[in-house]
């Protein structure tokens, strides 16, 4: 498996993954290299309003305009993703895949606003050491599927896990949320 291939894709928790940090999660991989992987959980909204956490970015917030729980690693660190109108390149933006990029939250949002259709902010991230994610995928903990900008910025993040699986078609439509329901 090519590690660069997984950057910009989702890893979706299988029902067998019962770890409380990752059960029923959809993780966008921001980087995947031989020495490890980093991503953010895109379907766990919190009650923390973005207007309170980062008021400068509130006018560009995608709904729901809250901070998301991006993962268990460094929960005090904030990572911003932007939905862009064009290729997310330039000062303050780095492409993940067409229409989605990492945004530098220390940048002036008024200088980036014309290129951004929406911003989502994540507290913390998910991280794996070299070979760890590949081992978890091989063990059946994660499905690897294509990511879409509309998934990353969905207004209904709680429905994303089921929606992404159903979109895959076939056997994915029959996967129960609870593996004991088989």
Tens-digit pLDDT profile for residues 96-132 = 998 999 999 999 888 886 788 999 999 999 999 999 9
Q: What is the pLDDT of residue 88?
A: 58
pLDDT at residue number 87: 63
Work out the pLDDT band at 1, boundaries 50, 70, 90: very low
CA dist 88 and 70 (Å) reads 21
Give tens-digit pLDDT for 63-93.
999 999 999 999 999 999 999 887 655 678 8
Q: Confidence band (pLDDT; 50, 70, 90) for 180?
A: low
| pLDDT digit string, tens, across residues 35-69 | 999 999 999 999 999 999 999 999 999 999 999 99
Which pLDDT score is estimated for 90?
A: 65
Instruction: Report yes or no on whether pTM surpasses 0.85.
Output: yes
pLDDT at 168 exceeding the cut of 70: yes
Q: Which long-range contacts (CB under 8 A, 24 or more apart) does 57-63 make?
A: 57/105, 57/109, 57/119, 57/121, 59/109, 59/113, 60/109, 60/113, 60/116, 60/118, 60/119, 61/118, 61/119, 61/120, 61/121, 62/117, 62/118, 62/119, 62/120, 62/153, 62/155, 63/155
DSSP conformational letter for 31: E
C-alpha torsion angle, residues 117, 92, 58, 70 (rounded to 10): 90
Query: Domains, the chain, ranges and CATH?
Result: 3-169 (3.40.1740.10)
Dihedral (Cα; 143, 61, 56, 70), 10-degree rounding: -20
Task: Judge whether residue 178 has pLDDT over 60.
Answer: yes
């Amino acid at each position: 498996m090519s590690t660069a291939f997984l950057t910009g894709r989702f890893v979706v928790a299988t029902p067998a993954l019962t770890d409380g940090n990752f059960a029923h999660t959809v993780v966008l991989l921001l980087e995947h290299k031989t020495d490890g992987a980093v991503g953010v959980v895109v379907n766990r909204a919190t009650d923390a309003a973005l207007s309170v956490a980062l008021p400068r970015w509130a006018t560009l917030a995608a709904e729901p305009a809250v901070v998301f729980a991006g993962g268990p690693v460094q929960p005090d660190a904030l990572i911003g993703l932007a939905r862009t109108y064009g290729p997310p390149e330039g000062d303050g933006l780095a492409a993940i895949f067409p229409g989605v990029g990492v945004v530098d939250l220390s940048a002036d949002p008024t200088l980036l606003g014309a290129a951004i259709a929406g911003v989502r902010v994540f507290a913390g991230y998910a991280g794996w050491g070299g070979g760890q994610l590949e081992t978890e995928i091989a063990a059946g903990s994660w499905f690897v599927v294509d990511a879409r900008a509309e998934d990353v910025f969905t207004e209904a993040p709680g429905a994303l896990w089921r929606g992404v699986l159903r979109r895959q078609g076939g056997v994915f439509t029959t996967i129960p949320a609870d593996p004991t329901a088989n």
